[in-house]
Structure 1
Amino acid sequence: MVTLDNFIGNEDLKTLLKIETLAAKTKNRALPHTLLKGPAGCGKTTLAEAIAREFGTKPLALTPNTARKTELLRKFFLDMPDDGYDEEGNIVGRIQPQVVFIDECHQLSLAAQENLGIAMHDWKLPVRVDGRDEFEWVPRFCLIGATTLPGKLSKPFRDRFKIQAQFETYTHEEAVNIVRLHARNEGLQLGDGVADAVAKRSRGVARLIVRFLERLSAAAVVAAKDRPEARGVITQQLTEKVFKDFLKVDDRGLTTTDVKILKQLHKLEDAVGLDTLATVVNEDKSTVEQEVEPYLVQEGLIARTKRGRLITDEGRRYLFSEGYIQKAPVSGRGGRVIGAAKNE
C-alpha cells in the first residue's frame, strides 16, 4: 500500500502535502485543491490515492463526462457525507473532507470547469430546481486533477488549484526503488539484476513497471510448474527471456512500435506528420503523441520540427547497432544522415 511516506519521487511535493495535510486535519478543513501535471503513468493517480489515505478515505473518482451533466454532478456531491454541517452548509462539528479525483481533467467541458470552479471556491454548486437557477451547498472537498495537457484548462479553473506540481519521469535509481517496492507488496522475490533490468526498460514510468512485473510474475508461475515454493521467484534469465520473446522490449526500453517509427522516418528521409506516424504503427494519434513520441525525443532518437518529425543521427545509429540498417550512419551537410535500409 502506497502512502505519502513511501511514495517515491517528488520529495518537495510530498513534504508540502504532509504539512498541508496536518494543517487541514488540525483546522478541520479540506486539503487545498491540487493539480498534478505530467506524462501518463508517472504516479499521479497513485499519489491521489495516498493523499486520500491520509484522511482515512479513498478518492472519489469523477469523470469529465459525469461532470458535464449538471444532474449527475449534483448527485455526486449529494452522496458525500454531510456530518458536521448545519442545514446551510456551515461547519458546526468535525467533518470528513472528501478527496475527489479527476483523471485527464483537461477533457472537462468549459461549463463543467466553471461549475466545479464555483464549488471549489464557494462550496456551492449552481443547479436548476423547478425551472429556477439556484445554489446548493456542497461538503468540503479537495479536488485533485491529473492532466497531461494543463494548457487546455481554462485559466480561471486552473487558478482554483492552490497546489500545482509538475511530474517528470523517474530517474533510474527511483525506478529501481519502485520495482523493489512493488515486488515486495506483491510478495515477489527478485533475483540479482532483475530490478535493474526492469527499471532500465521502464522509461522511468511507474505504470510500465507494474505492467512488466505482472507479466514476469505470471511467467514465474509457469516456469515453476510443480515447485510451488518457486512461483514467486523471478530470475535474471527468466526476465531477459520474457522481455525478448514476449514483451519485445529491448534493454533501452524501445518497443516494436518505436522501431517501426524510426524505420519509417529513416526510409522517408524527410519530416513526417503525426497522422502519418499514427497510421504506420496502427495507433491513435493521441497515443503516439503522449506515450510513444516523448520517449523517442527524450532519448534523442527523433526530433520535432515545424514541418514534422525527423530521425536524428542518434536514431540512425540505434537502427544500425540493432541491425535494422546495413551501413553505419554518416553525418552529412546540415546534419543529414545516409544509411541503407535493411530489406524485410
Structure 2
Amino acid sequence: MSEHERDLVSPEADLDERAVEGALRPKSLDEFVGQERVREQLSLVLRSAQRRGKAPDHILMSGGPGLGKTTLAMIIAAELGSSLRITSGPAIERSGDLAAVLSTLHEGEVLFLDEIHRMARPAEEMLYVAMEDFRVDVVVGKGPGATAIPLDIAPFTLVGATTRAGMLPAPLRDRFGFVAHMDFYRPDELELILRRSAGLLGADLAPDAAVEIAGRSRGTPRIANRLLRRVRDYAEVRGDGRLTLETARAALSLYEVDDEGLDRLDRAVLTALLRRFRGGPVGLSTLAVSVGEEPETVEVVAEPFLVRSGFIARTPRGRVATAEAWAHMGLTPPPDAAFGAGALFGAAEEP
C-alpha cells in the first residue's frame, strides 16, 4: 500500500497540507462549525478576560488529530487581538528551549504548544512555574555550584493541545483553567464545512455530493477537506468541473474510500480478521503480520477508527470482529464466531 493511499483518510497532516489548510481555516468563533459546547464555553472564557482586561486562563484542548485544535488556537489569539506563537512538545527537548520561547513573549501573547504531552520532563517542570507565577528559573552553572536565577516573563496565555490527554501528568493538567475535549463531528456539521471549503476553493459542490463526502470523512474535518480536494481534482480532469454525486462516488471509488470511510488498510485488517482468523480473537502482532504491516501502524492508523465504528472490539483475548464487520464485508459469520459477551473473557491478550 502506498503512503498516498494510506494518508488519504489519515487524520494527520504533513507540512504541505497544513499550508493548504491555512486558506480554509475559519478566522473567528462565529465561523467555526461544530463543537458547539466548546465554542460557547470558550467564548465565555475569552469575553470575561477581555472585560477584566487580563489574560484568560490557560487552555487545554484534547481530542484526535484533525478536529480543529490548531484552528481554535489561532481563533483564540484573533479574538483576543494578540499575536500567536506556535511550537510543539517534540521541539522542546530541554528546559533551555522553553526558557528561550517564554522569555521572548510579549504581554497578552498566546503561546500554542501542540502535542504538549511529548514535552521533555525538565521543560515540563519549568512550565509549571511559568504558568502559575509567570517566572522561569534559569540555572547557571553545574553541580553543587549551580545557581537558579529567577527571570520574570510577561503574562501570557498558554494553549496546549494533545491527542493523548491521559499521558499528561496531573500537576500539568491541573494548571489549566479551562479544559476542552474535541469530539468527532456529525455528518451535517461536516456538510457545512464542505460547503464553506468548496466556496473558498471555487468549486461547484452539489448538496448530495457534500452528503456523500461527509459520510466517508470519519467525523474529521481535515479528512473531509482532503476528500473534497480529491473529488475536485477528479471533476476537473475527468468531468465538467462540477462536483456532483456521481463524480464524488466515482472519485472516492478510485481512491478506494468506501461508503463507511474505510480505506485499503482498514479493509485488509478486516479481511484478515474475518477470513484467516474466523473473526478472532487474535493478537495485534499476529494480525499485523497477516496484513504485512507493523503492529504500531495497525494500532495507531487503522484500529482507532475500526473500533469507534463498531467493526472491531478489543477484548482480553485479542481483537474480535463484530457482527457489523461481517455484514459490511458481505460475509456470513461461522456458527462459532467469537463476537459477543463470550469474547470478553479468557486469557490475556497477546501484545
Shorter-normalised TM-score: what interval? 0.7 to 0.9
Q: Is the aligned partner of 1:260 residue 2:268?
A: yes
Against the structure 1 CA distance between its residues 168 and 74, is the aligned structure 2 distance closer, same or farther, given a 3 Å change threshold?
A: same
Against the structure 1 CA distance between its residues 275 and 69, is the aligned structure 2 distance closer, same or farther, given a 3 Å change threshold?
A: same
Hey, what's the Cα distance between the residues in 1 that align with 2:188 and 2:61?
22
Matching residue of 1:64 = 89
Residue 127 of structure 1: SS of its match in structure 2?
strand
Hey, what's the Cα distance between the residues in 2 that align with 1:257 and 1:151?
27
Q: Is the aligned partner of 1:186 residue 2:195?
A: no
Gaps of 5+ in 1: 82-94, 225-229, 337-344
Aligned residue identity for 2:182: F
Aligned residue identity for 1:202: S
Of 326, 333, 344, the match for 1:329: 333
Q: Deviations over 1:108-140 (max 9, x none)?
A: 232222111211111011212354212211222
Against the structure 1 CA distance between its residues 284 and 33, is the aligned structure 2 distance closer, same or farther, given a 3 Å change threshold?
A: farther
Matching residue of 1:309 = 319
Q: Is the aligned partner of 1:151 residue 2:166?
A: yes
Offset at 1:53? 1.5
Q: Deviations over 1:201-258 (max 9, x none)?
A: 001111101211222233333246xxxxx65x3222221111011x210111111111
Matching residue of 1:123 = 134
| 8 Å contact kept, 1:201–1:252 | yes
Against the structure 1 CA distance between its residues 157 and 283, is the aligned structure 2 distance closer, same or farther, given a 3 Å change threshold?
A: farther
Matching residue of 2:285 = 275
Hey, what's the Cα distance between the residues in 1 that align with 2:67 and 2:45?
22
Greater C-alpha Rg:
1
Gaps of 5+ in 2: 1-24, 341-351
Aligned residue identity for 2:51: T
Against the structure 1 CA distance between its residues 51 and 281, is the aligned structure 2 distance closer, same or farther, given a 3 Å change threshold?
A: farther
Hey, what's the Cα distance between the residues in 2 that align with 1:31 and 1:319?
50
Residue 310 of structure 2: SS of its match in structure 1?
coil
Hey, what's the Cα distance between the residues in 2 that align with 1:274 and 1:45?
32
Of 245, 249, 266, the match for 1:240: 249
Hey, what's the Cα distance between the residues in 1 that align with 2:150 and 2:259?
57
Matching residue of 1:50 = 75
- Give the RMSD, CA atoms, in angstroms: 2.2
Matching residue of 1:197 = 212
| 8 Å contact kept, 2:38–2:182 | no
TM-score where L is the length of structure 2 = 0.81
Residue 92 of structure 2: SS of its match in structure 1?
helix
Hey, what's the Cα distance between the residues in 2 that align with 1:309 and 1:206?
28
| 8 Å contact kept, 1:40–1:290 | no
TM-score where L is the length of structure 1 = 0.82
Of 218, 226, 232, the match for 2:233: 218
Against the structure 1 CA distance between its residues 129 and 205, is the aligned structure 2 distance closer, same or farther, given a 3 Å change threshold?
A: same
Hey, what's the Cα distance between the residues in 1 that align with 2:224 and 2:308?
19
Against the structure 1 CA distance between its residues 118 and 144, is the aligned structure 2 distance closer, same or farther, given a 3 Å change threshold?
A: same
Against the structure 1 CA distance between its residues 212 and 132, is the aligned structure 2 distance closer, same or farther, given a 3 Å change threshold?
A: same
Give the paired residue count: 309
Matching residue of 2:21 = none
Against the structure 1 CA distance between its residues 169 and 286, is the aligned structure 2 distance closer, same or farther, given a 3 Å change threshold?
A: farther
Hey, what's the Cα distance between the residues in 2 that align with 1:144 and 1:285?
32
Aligned residue identity for 2:96: E
Matching residue of 1:91 = none
Offset at 1:330? 4.8
Offset at 1:192? 3.8
Residue 168 of structure 1: SS of its match in structure 2?
coil
Of 59, 63, 66, the match for 1:34: 59
Of 111, 123, 127, the match for 1:112: 123
Aligned residue identity for 1:8: V
Against the structure 1 CA distance between its residues 138 and 195, is the aligned structure 2 distance closer, same or farther, given a 3 Å change threshold?
A: same
Aligned residue identity for 1:15: E
Offset at 1:107? 1.2
| 8 Å contact kept, 1:66–1:73 | no
Offset at 1:69? 1.5
Residue 62 of structure 1: SS of its match in structure 2?
strand
Offset at 1:334? 6.1
Hey, what's the Cα distance between the residues in 2 that align with 1:148 and 1:284?
21
Residue 300 of structure 1: SS of its match in structure 2?
coil
Against the structure 1 CA distance between its residues 264 and 161, is the aligned structure 2 distance closer, same or farther, given a 3 Å change threshold?
A: same
Hey, what's the Cα distance between the residues in 1 that align with 2:291 and 2:156?
42
Residue 193 of structure 1: SS of its match in structure 2?
helix
Against the structure 1 CA distance between its residues 30 and 238, is the aligned structure 2 distance closer, same or farther, given a 3 Å change threshold?
A: same
Hey, what's the Cα distance between the residues in 1 that align with 2:335 and 2:310?
15
Matching residue of 2:344 = none
Percent sequence identity over aligned pairs = 34
Matching residue of 1:24 = 49
